[in-house]
Chains A and B, each alone.
Chain A
C-alpha cells in the first residue's frame, strides 16, 4: 500500500517532471498543488500521482528556464540562488522546505535573502548556474524505474527547452542592460530584436543569457 505523505515544499515527480509542492489542500479532490520548476507553471493533482524526490548535492535541474547545479562547498555570494533543504526558521523568518531564494547579503554565520530571511549556512545548498560535469540531472525521473506508471511514452524531450518565438532574454552583462525578444528561428540560429543573431547554444548558456518570460504567457 502506498502511503500518501505529501507535504508543502517537497520536490516531487508528476508526469515524469520535477515539481515543488507549494501547498496541500486536504479538502480538495486535487489536493496537491504544484509548481513546475522548469517554467514555474501551476499544476493540480492528487497525492497518488506524485513521487517524492529529495534533492541532494550534485543534482542539477532546470529552474525558470535556467539550469542550476546544487553545490555545498562553494561560498554563496550576493545575487546567488539558494535552495533551502534543511529549514530551521527563527522567530522573524518566513520560509519553508525547498524554498528558492536570492542571496542579498552574506554574513559569517549565514546569508540574508532578499525576502529578509536569515538563513544559516547549514540550511541551504547553493544553486550554481549551469550543469557541472558529473552532475546528476533530476528534471526528469529515471525512466528505467518507472514501469509501474507507464511513463515511457510521456518522457518529454529537451526540445521543450529550446527558445521559442516571444521569449524575452536578458544579457548577463555588468556594463549594460540589454533585454531582447526572440523574433525568428532558422535552424539553430536565433534572431533577436535589435538585429542580433546568435546560435542556440549561446542563448541557452545561463552564464551569458537569462530567460525572463514569454510574452504569450503574460
Chain B
C-alpha cells in the first residue's frame, strides 16, 4: 500500500493512458466517434474557456513584466545565470521550435489563404489575413503560456526548494497537501496532458517524415508507412537509452538548430527577399492592431468550426505542451530575474517565431499570390503533410532543401521523443531529476503507441480533437497556478522586507 502511494502518479497515469490505447486498438470507430462528440462539444461549450484562459495568460505575463515582482531573482539572490544571454535566448527559441513550426510554416498561411476565417479566399486580403492569423497562433499566446508555467516551476524549485513537479507550484495554496491526493491528481492530469501534447507532435512528425520519404525516395505515403516510421523511431530511442547514446541526442538537438537556421537563411536568400521583409513588417502591424479582437474572437451567431480547427486546437496543444516546455525553460533560467525571464521568454521567441513564419509563409504566399497559382494553393491546403516539400519543389536547390527539411523533421522527431520521456519520467516520479531508464523506456513506448492509435483512428483531425480534450483540465490547473504564483511572490517580497528590517536594526 505504501509503495502504491509512492508510485500512484506513475501507476494511475500509465493505467489511464493504457486504457486509451486499448480503446483505440479494439474500438477504433468508437474512439473516432467519441472524439468527434468531444470536438463538437468543445466548439459549442468549451471554446470560451480556451480563449479566455489563454488571453488571461498574455495579460498576466505582461503584468508581471511591469509589476513590483520584477526584481525577484529565480534562485538565491547571489545566483548568477547558468548561461550567457545569447545562448539562453537561442535555447529558448529552440524550445519553442520543433516539428510544429516545420509542419505548419508553409501549410498554415496557404490553407488560411484558401479558406480564411472570414471574407473571400484566394484574394490579397485573404493573404494578409492568413499571415496575421499565423502570427497570432504562433506569437504571444503560446509564449505567454510557457512564461507562466516556466516561471512558476522555476520559482518554486529554486526559491522554495521544492521538487520539480507541477504540484509543487501549488504549495502556497495546498501547503503539505501537495503530497496528498490533490497534489497527485494535479500531477496525473499534467502527465496526461503532456502525453497527448507529445503524441500530437509525434503524430505530425510521423506524417511529415512519411511525406518526406515519399518526396525524396518515392516511398508510399500511407498509414502503414507512418506506423512503421513510429516503430523505427521508438526502436532507435530504446537503443539510445540503453547504450548510453543519450549524449548523442544532445548533439542531434544542437544540429537541428543549425539546420533550421541554414534552411531559414537559404529561403531568405533564394526566395523573394523583399516580399518577405515587407510581409514581416506589414503583418506585425496587422497583428498588433487586431490583437484583442483576434484574442477574444468567437462566433456566437455562426459556425465556429474554423476557430475550433485552428485557434482552439493551437491553444489546447500549447497548454498540453506546457509542462514539457516549462520544465526545460525553468531549468535553463536559474539566476535570471522575473523581468529578464518575461522579456526572454515572452518577447524574444515571439519575434523569432514570427520571423520564421514570415520567411516560410511569406515566400509560399508569394508563389501562389503573385503567379495567381490557385491550383498550387489548393494542392498545398489539401496535402498539408507534403506542404513544405511541395514548397521546396518551387525553389532553386529544391532537392538539397528537401533533404535538409527531411533531416530536420527526422531529427526533431527523435529529440522530441527522447526528451519527452525524460520529462514524463520526472513528472510521474514526483519531480525527481533522476528518472530510471525503465520508466523512461515505458513512457517512450506508451507515447509512440498513443501517436499510432491517434493516426489509425483518423489522422490529423483526431490528433487535434484528442489534444483539445486532454488539455482542458490542465487549462484550469494553469489558471490556479497563476494565483499560486502571485501568492508565492508576495511571500518572497515579505521575506525580503523582513531581512531588510533585521539588517537595519
Contact = CB atoms under 8 A, between A and B. Distances in A.
Contacts of B423: 91-92
B246 A116 contact: no
A110 B418 contact: no
A22 to B, nearest CB: 15
Nearest to B83: A94
Interface stretch (A63-71, A117-125, A135-143, A180-188): A117-125
Nearest to A94: B82
A22 B135 CA distance: 42
Given A110-B434, A118-B432, A118-B433, A89 B244 contact: no
A117 B433 contact: yes
B143 interface: no
Contacts of B432: 107, 109, 118
Nearest to A120: B434
A145 B82 CA distance: 40
A197 interface: no
Contacts of A109: 432, 434, 436
Interface in A94-126: 94, 107, 109-110, 112, 115-120
A67 B246 CA distance: 34
A202 interface: no
B158 to A, nearest CB: 8
A116 B247 contact: no
A117 B426 CA distance: 13
B244 A88 contact: yes
Given A89-B246, A89-B250, A91-B418, A118 B434 contact: yes
B146 interface: no
B253 to A, nearest CB: 9
Contact of A107 (B157, B250, B434): B434
A31 B436 CA distance: 38
**Max chain B CB contacts within 10 Å: which of A90, A118, A120?**
A90
Contacts of A119: 434
Interface in B104-126: none
Interface string B436-452: 10000000000000000
A41 B426 CA distance: 37
A112 B246 contact: no
A39 interface: no
B92 interface: no
Contacts of A92: 327-328, 331, 422-423, 426, 433
A119 B164 CA distance: 15
A57 interface: no
A110 to B, nearest CB: 4
B422 A90 contact: yes
Interface string B133-164: 00000000000000000000000011000001
A88 B246 CA distance: 7
A93 interface: yes
Nearest to A119: B434
A116 B433 contact: yes
B330 to A, nearest CB: 9
A93 B435 CA distance: 12
Contacts, number: 51
Nearest to A109: B434
A112 B82 contact: no
Contacts of B419: 91
**Max chain A CB contacts within 10 Å: which of B244, B331, B418, B423?**
B331
B247 A89 contact: yes
Contacts of A107: 432, 434
Contact of A91 (B158, B422, B436): B422
B73 interface: no
B434 A115 contact: no
Contacts of B422: 90-92
Interface in A71-91: 88-91
Interface in B309-348: 327-328, 331-332, 334
Contact of B334 (A91, A116, A120): A116
Contacts of B332: 94
A93 B247 contact: no
A116 B434 contact: no
A120 B426 CA distance: 14
Contacts of B250: 89, 91
Contacts of A89: 246-247, 250
Interface string B67-103: 0000000000000001000000000000000000000
A92 B435 CA distance: 11
A48 to B, nearest CB: 28
B244 A116 contact: no
B433 A93 contact: yes
Contacts of B327: 92
Nearest to A117: B433
**Max chain B CB contacts within 10 Å: which of A90, A91, A117, A118?**
A91
A117 B418 CA distance: 18
Contact of B157 (A115, A116, A118): A116
Contacts of B249: 91
Nearest to A93: B433
Interface string B481-493: 0000000000000
Nearest to A87: B247
B82 A88 contact: no
A45 B417 CA distance: 41
A148 B412 CA distance: 50
Nearest to B82: A94
A88 B247 contact: yes
Interface in B21-42: none
Interface string B152-196: 000001100000100000000000000000000000000000000
A52 B297 CA distance: 65
Given A91-B423, A110-B434, A116-B164, 9 more contacts: A89-B250, A90-B435, A91-B249, A91-B418, A94-B331, A116-B158, A116-B334, A116-B433, A118-B432
6 contacts: A88-B247, A90-B435, A91-B418, A92-B327, A110-B434, A115-B82
Among all A-B residue pairs, the 10 with the closest Cβ atoms: A118-B433, A110-B434, A118-B434, A91-B422, A109-B434, A91-B419, A92-B331, A90-B422, A112-B433, A120-B434
